Amino acid sequence: MDNLELKRHANAVRKGIVTAVHGAKAGHPGGSLSAADMFTFLYFEEMNIDPKDPKKADRDRFVLSKGHTAPGLYSALANRGYFPVEDLPTLRHLGSYLQGHPCMQETPGVDMSSGSLGQGISAAVGMALAAKLDNKDYRVYTLLGDGEIQEGQVWEASMFAGARGLDNLVVIVDNNGLQIDGKIEDVCSPYPIDKKFEAFNFHVINIDGHDFDAIRAAFDEAKKTKGMPTAIIMKTVKGKGVSYMENSAGWHGKAPNDEEYKVAMDDLAAIDAQLA
Amino acid sequence: MSDIKKIATRESYGNALVEYAEDFPDLVVLDADLAGATKTGTFKKAYPDRHIDCGIAEANMTGIAAGLATCGKIPFISSFAMFAAGRNFEQVRNSIGYPHLNVKIGATHAGVTVGEDGATHQCNEDVALMRTIPGMTVIVPSDDIEARAAVRAALEFKGPVYLRFGRAAVPVINDKPGYKFEIGKGVKLREGSDVTIVASGICVDSAVNAAELLAADGISAEVINIHTIKPIDKDIILESAKKTGKVVTVEEHSVIGGLGSAVCDVLAENLPTPVKKIGVQDVFGESGSAAELVKKFGLDGESVYKTVKEFVK
């Protein structure tokens, strides 16, 4: 799939995110939008998956360790055909299969329930280990927030993955620089992120998380890396694509009102026009 | 009494894993640097490719087990109860309980019989923690035979199971013909009419011994072994309480949230009955030998006898 096509899908994913969070009147748009290009690349290009057979035995797996950005995952899954895009506004509603945080028993395509920060990466490590134990060649991807890596369990999991040389595992860190209480370096700096993963025996790749060429090259490099897991640290813009949400910690966990929703959809329509 | 066979249920756990490994090819065992103590070292020796030592990182071990389970494995995670249930509570709840994954938690060194290590390692709260998790099965075996049967049953059962094992050697008591282990089914060990003693784990033996002493005093005690704290066997408790009108619970656990509380839940909602809860009375443990601590906390046969006698007076 060429970059233009990917960009169109990514914009559709962003519309789905904003629509879902608006419909929910709550949720986490900022970190969903920053990772929208990554969600798009994973589900439209990178992973060996089948939306018609979500539990296909030897599929690649994805664990959204930063589970609060479920709107990003749901929108990517819906746009990829796992379930109707029209259902996205039921996010967080009573009885909806789109829970506030990912639930593997409810939502087609969700490989692991997650949302309590630091836990998803361990499950991803377990999946990668299962592939090794069974001599299967499926790959496992997990996406973490840059605030999330303040959790100690992330480093327990990284130590294990590095020590075991799980080269079928790709840990992606969405480095949008903001967490609820402000800038990550002001709250409790996790920098340098790349050096930390290197110290845990990861092959580390730093990229611009909105550049599809860079994302593609990073995943190709990860596949060629043997004997150690790969960490992709992607620099991103929190709230990417929606003018007033960009680089704003305030839009970490807040839904747009009707007026704001219209502005957001106009912003994204303008991007569509550029991509036409 | 010295001719009675004694074995620690953690030994039974390690032996059972080896015994059933061929029948369950998906079984894998995870440890957090305690394979020697939890006795899963036995499994590691027999099946090195199916044993994963995660290092001293219980939270990660729990998440790894969850990931393995989503891929069809049947992981047993192994550590001391303090860490398997205590440190890990939220990982067990969110990564195993919420997605209802087929992970088994083999928690050893539960209760005060950890002994000399003292209060930091004596977990008297694990049953309380685990039984609040929706869909979690909680089993506290009383001896070697029951512990091995519980491991087998957990392997056959689909869903998360918490199994509680002890450090100290305990007498084999379930060697009577016809013994059958079924998850959720209590076992009546002695018929009686004056009082019901409901016990779990190592306290089942104490209850049986207490009943014998009570009999000599003309008090007829019914003894029920509740090996599955959740789901609890309501019928056997209610039927016995209806007959005797008095219930004593005995457990090597806090009286808050464990067997005693679970039995009270059943009685309070169905058949309000006077209950005496024997267990750790909302205090921390301390260093000492297992036998000394069992006595100190009133969990030995003699102490149970005295407490029951006082209660039925």
- Domain contains B56: yes
pLDDT at A100 over 80: yes
Residue B4 confidence (pLDDT): 80
Question: CA A92, CA A257: separation in Å to the nearest integer?
Answer: 16
Q: What is the pLDDT of residues B58-74, one digit of tens each?
A: 999 999 999 999 999 99
What's the rounded Cα separation, in Å, for the pair B290 and B6?
Answer: 14
Helix (H, G, I), strand (E, B) or coil at B33: coil
Is B180 part of a structural domain of the chain? Answer: no
What tens digit of pLDDT does each residue of A230-276 get?
999 999 999 999 999 999 999 999 999 999 999 999 999 999 999 99
Average pLDDT over residues A17-34: 97
Note the pLDDT tens digit of each residue in B206-257: 999 999 999 999 999 999 999 999 999 999 999 999 999 999 999 999 999 9
Q: What is the mean pLDDT of residues A161-183?
A: 97
Kindly tell me if the per-residue pLDDT of A101 is higher than 50.
yes
- Counting the structural domains of chain B, the total is 2
Structure-token match 């845990």, residue found: A200
Chain B residues lying within 8 Å of A121, measured CB to CB? 63
Q: CB-based burial of residue A185 (10 Å sphere; 0-12 exposed, 13-18 middle, 19+ buried)?
A: exposed
Confidence check: pLDDT of A28 > 90: yes
- Could you give the 3-state DSSP secondary structure of residue B80? strand
Query: From residue B73, how far is each of B61, B104, B151 by CA, in Å?
Result: 14, 11, 16
Q: Confirm whether pTM is higher than 0.95.
A: yes
- Whether residue B95 and residue A116 make contact (CB cut-off 8 A), yes or no, is yes
Do B207 and B167 share a structural domain? no
B16 touches chain A (CB under 8 A): no
Active-site choice (B58, B125, B222, B251): B58
User: Average pLDDT over chain A, rounded to whole?
Assistant: 98
- Find the CATH number of the domain harbouring A76: 3.40.50.970
- Structure tokens, B191: 């018929």
Which of the four pLDDT bands, split at 50, 70 and 90, describes residue B75?
A: very high
Do the Cβ atoms of A116 and B49 come within 8 Å? no
* Residues B193, B272 within the same domain: yes
Quote the pLDDT of residue A52.
98
Q: In chain B, which residue's Cα lies nearest the Cα of A153?
A: B60
Query: Taking a C-beta distance cutoff of 8 angstroms, is the pair A64, A73 a contact?
Result: yes
Which CATH number does the domain housing residue B258 bear? 3.40.50.920
Question: Could you tell me if B77 and B212 lie in one domain?
Answer: no
Can you point out the beta strands (E) in chain A? Answer: 61-64, 140-145, 169-175, 178-179, 182-183, 203-208, 230-235
The Cα A140–Cα A137 span in angstroms is 10
B2 has a pLDDT exceeding 60: no
Whether B23 and B161 map to the same domain: the answer is: yes
Question: B183: how many CB neighbours lie within 10 A of its CB?
Answer: 18
Are residues B154 and B204 both part of a single domain? no
Query: Is residue A131 predicted with pLDDT exceeding 90?
Result: yes
Beta strands at B221-225 and B187-190: parallel, antiparallel or unpaired: antiparallel
Give dist(CA B263, CA A270) in Å, integer: 65
Domain of residue B74, CATH code: 3.40.50.970
Residue B12 is part of which domain span? 6-171
As for the ipTM of the complex, it is 0.96
> Residue B179, SS3?
coil
Tell whether the model's pLDDT for residue A13 goes beyond 80: yes
Identify whether B182 is part of a domain: no
Looking at the fold, whether B198 and B165 belong to one and the same domain comes out as no
Q: Do residues B94 and B11 both lie within one domain?
A: yes
Q: Which of A111, A130, A163 sits opposite B68 (nearest CB)?
A: A130
Instruction: Give the model's confidence band at B200: pLDDT under 50 very low, under 70 low, under 90 confident, else very high.
Output: very high
Domain shared by B241 and B201, yes or no:
yes
Average pLDDT of A203-209? 98
Arithmetic mean of pLDDT, A184-197: 98
In a domain, B313, yes or no: no
Q: Is B22 exposed, middle or buried (0-12, 13-18, 19+ CB in 10 A)?
A: exposed
Helix (H) or strand (E) holding B35: helix B35-38
- Give the closest of B28, B49, B99 to A104, CB-based: B99
Do residue A123 and residue B64 have CB atoms under 8 angstroms apart?
yes
Question: Which of A17, A8, A128, A11 has the alpha carbon at shortest distance from A63?
Answer: A128
d(CA A106, CA B77): 26
Residues 221-260 of B with CB under 8 A from A: none
Interatomic CA distance for residues B44 and B42, integer angstroms: 5
Best residue in A99, A129, A135, A171 to probe B by mutation, most B CBs within 10 Å? A129
B232 and B289 inside one domain: yes
Q: Measured between CA atoms, how close is A275 to chain B, in angstroms?
A: 39
A73 in Cβ contact with A110 (< 8 Å): yes
Contact B134, B3 (CB under 8 A): no
> What's the domain count of chain A?
1
Which residues lie across from B53 on neighbouring strands? Answer: B31
Q: Give mean pLDDT, residues A87-98.
A: 98
User: A55: exposed, middle or buried (C-beta count within 10 Å: 0-12, 13-18, 19+)?
Assistant: exposed
- Find the mean pLDDT for residues A202-211: 98
B207 plus B63 within the same structural domain: no
Which amino acid belongs to residue A143?
L
pLDDT at B94: 98
How confident is the model over B4-18, as a mean pLDDT? 95
In Å, how far is A89's CA from the nearest CA of chain B?
A: 24
**Chain B residues close to A160, C-beta within 8 Å:** 54-55, 57, 60, 64
Q: Note down the domain range covering A56.
A: 3-275
The β-bridge relationship of strands B161-164 and B104-108 is: parallel
Task: Please write the tens of the pLDDT for every residue from B36-62.
Answer: 999 999 999 999 999 999 999 999 999
- Chain-chain contact of B70 with A123 (C-beta, under 8 angstroms): yes
Note whether residue B181 is domain-resident: no
Whether residue B143 sits in one domain with residue B36: yes
Domain end position, chosen among B111, B141, B171: B171
Q: Is B58 a catalytic residue?
A: yes
Same domain, B15 and B135: yes
CA quadruple A197, A200, A203, A208: dihedral, nearest 10: -10
Q: Return mean pLDDT, chain B.
A: 97
The lowest-confidence range among A121-130, A189-198, A247-256 is A247-256
Cβ neighbours around B75 below 10 Å, total? 29
| Residue B118 scores a pLDDT above 90 | yes
Q: Return the bridge partners of B280, or none.
A: B254
Domain end, chosen from B121, B141, B171, is at B171
Residue B176 lies in a domain: no
Q: How confident is the model at residue B1 (pLDDT cuts 50, 70, 90)?
A: very low
Cβ contacts (< 8 Å) between A119 and chain B: which residues? 59, 63, 91, 94-95
User: Distance (Å, rounded) from C-alpha B211 to C-alpha B250?
Assistant: 12
- At residue B61, the pLDDT reads 98
Asked which of B171, B203, B226 is the last residue of a domain, the reply is B171
Q: Quick one: average pLDDT of A54-71?
A: 97
The per-residue b/e assignment along B199-238, b for 16 or more CB within 10 angstroms, e otherwise, is: bbbbbbbbbbbbbebbeeeebebbbbbbbbbbebbbebbe
Interval B259-264 mean pLDDT: 98
